[in-house]
Amino acid sequence: MNRKITKSFIIFLVSASTIIGCTYNSNYYVNRGNLKISQGKYDRAMRYYNGAIRINPQNPKAFLGRGSVWLLKLNYQAAIADFTQAIFLKPDYSEAYLNRATAWVETRNADKALRDCNMGLEKASRNNEMYI
C-alpha cells in the first residue's frame, strides 16, 4: 500500500513539473527563434517557434515569432493567421496588432491595416510601450 502511494506521488510530481516546465521550455524555444531571426536563419527560427507551440500552444510569443517568420518569407496569409492567434491569446498584444497591420498592407487591405495599426498604437499607449 505504501509503495502504491509513493508511486502515485512520484507520478504526480513528474506531471506537475512537466506542466510547470512547459512554459519555461516554450519560452526557451521562442528566445532561440528570436535569435535565429536576428541571424537571418528563418527556417531554423520556424523550427524553434513550432517547437514552442507544440510545448505550449497558449504562448502568444510563439505565434508572434512564427508570424514574423511568415511575414519575412512573404507568406502573408500564414502571418495573419499567427498574429490573429497571438491576439486571441493576449488581446492587448500591441506588437501582434502592428505586425498584422504590416501583413494587411502587403495584401493590399488598407482598411484592416489601418484598424490594426490604430488598435496596436492604442494598446501600446495603454501598456506604456513606445513604437517609433
Confidence of residue 12 (pLDDT cuts 50, 70, 90): very low
Q: Residue 6, CB half-sphere, CA atoms under 13 Å: how many?
A: 3
Q: What is the pLDDT of residue 18?
A: 41
- Condensed to tens digits (0 to 9), the pLDDT of residues 91-119 reads 999 999 999 999 999 999 999 999 988 88
Which cell is 23 given? 512554459
Q: What is the pLDDT of residues 55-96, one digit of tens each?
A: 999 999 999 999 999 999 999 999 999 999 999 999 999 999
* Confidence bin at 14 (pLDDT 50/70/90): very low
Count of beta carbons in the 10 Å neighbourhood of residue 67 = 28
Nearest to 60 by CA among 12, 27, 103: 27
32-51: per-residue pLDDT in tens? Answer: 999 999 999 999 999 999 99
pTM value?
0.78
- Return d(Cα 112, Cα 122) in angstroms, integer: 15
